[in-house]
Amino acid sequence: MKIIKIKAEIHIEDIMPEIQRNEDTLETYVHILSAMNSTSRLTGERDPSKIWNEHLLDCGFSLPLIPEIGSAVDVGTGGGLPGMLWAICRPHLNVYLLDSVHKKCAAVGEMIRNLGLKNAFVVCDRAEIFAAENRERFSAAATRAVGHLGLCAEYMSPLVMKGGILLCFKGPKVEEELKEVGPSWNKLGLSEPEIYSYRLGEKNLFLVVWKKEEYCPKTFPRKPGRAQKLHWWRCVR
């Protein structure tokens, strides 16, 4: 039985004006990322056109959902997506690009310097440690290709202030993962998720968005590695 209720569909026409306004800087970023992939394996893809079409445009579908100002954190940024896109397209939004892999952090830091971005900042740390030191500081948080929806929510919720949003990019497994967690999101201070659908080429993809309705319980973040070993949604029922 289908459990996904789509709040809205985001179309490519909804994002292209903003992409086109920032096209020169975005193209420069893509070519830097392509060159760095030969040594750092940031996205697994080296062809600039494929990076643009399969990664950058994918992240572009989040643009209608994120704030214009404030601060945001990209958890598990890898090669800088969606965080670098946000920083380029949202000059008044401070974007923190968080990853625990030093080689990736060094590469993203070099990209920021090359592009002259003043609103993008690299943080090389575990999400759990960074959240403990920066609790509920951010207006928005995002994860892409990080893992199960429940894990992503646990990593992000302690970082996002009450009234902020959490956003996760997902593919076909979204329905299965939503079903596994069930109606337990309030245990992290979150609303029930809203689902936005979009098409990228032949793929049907989804953005899962939560509102931070209450403060995250002080039991989160847990110690590094605990989230994967003991799923919070199996403990709260």
pLDDT digits (tens, 9 = 90+) for 152-193: 999 999 999 999 999 999 999 999 999 999 999 999 999 999
Query: What's the whole-number average pLDDT of the chain?
Result: 94
- Quick check: is 1 in a domain? no
Task: Identify the three-state secondary structure at position 73.
Answer: strand
Annotated binding site for S-adenosyl-L-methionine: 76, 81, 127-128, 144
Q: What range defines the domain where residue 163 resides?
A: 6-235
Q: What is the pTM of this model?
A: 0.95
The two structure tokens encoding residue 77: 């940024």
Model confidence at 1, pLDDT cuts 50, 70, 90, reads very low
Longest Cα pair distance anywhere in the chain, in angstroms? 50
- For residue 144, the model assigns a pLDDT of 96
d(CA 143, CA 154): 11
Quote the number of domains for the chain: 1
Would the pLDDT of 45 be above 90? no
In a domain, 37, yes or no: yes
| d(C-alpha 89, C-alpha 7), whole Å | 24
Class of residue 8 by CB neighbours under 10 A (exposed 0-12, middle 13-18, buried 19+): middle
Considering the domain boundaries, does residue 33 fall inside one? yes
Residue, of 228 and 162, whose pLDDT is higher: 162
pLDDT, tens digit, for every residue of 75-101? 999 999 999 999 999 999 999 999 999
Question: From the annotation, which residues make up the binding site?
Answer: 76, 81, 127-128, 144
Task: Provide the sign of the torsion angle of the four alpha carbons 138, 140, 144, 150, taken in this order.
Answer: positive
Question: What is the reported pLDDT for 46?
Answer: 82
CATH number where 158 lies: 3.40.50.150
pLDDT tens, residue by residue, 212-227: 999 999 999 999 999 9
Q: How far apart are CA 10 and CA 23, in angstroms?
A: 20
Closest to 169 (Cα-Cα) out of 75, 47, 67: 75
Residue at 229 is within a domain: yes
Rounded CA separation 57/55 (Å) = 6
pLDDT class of 145 with cuts at 50, 70, 90? confident
- Report whether pLDDT(123) > 50: yes
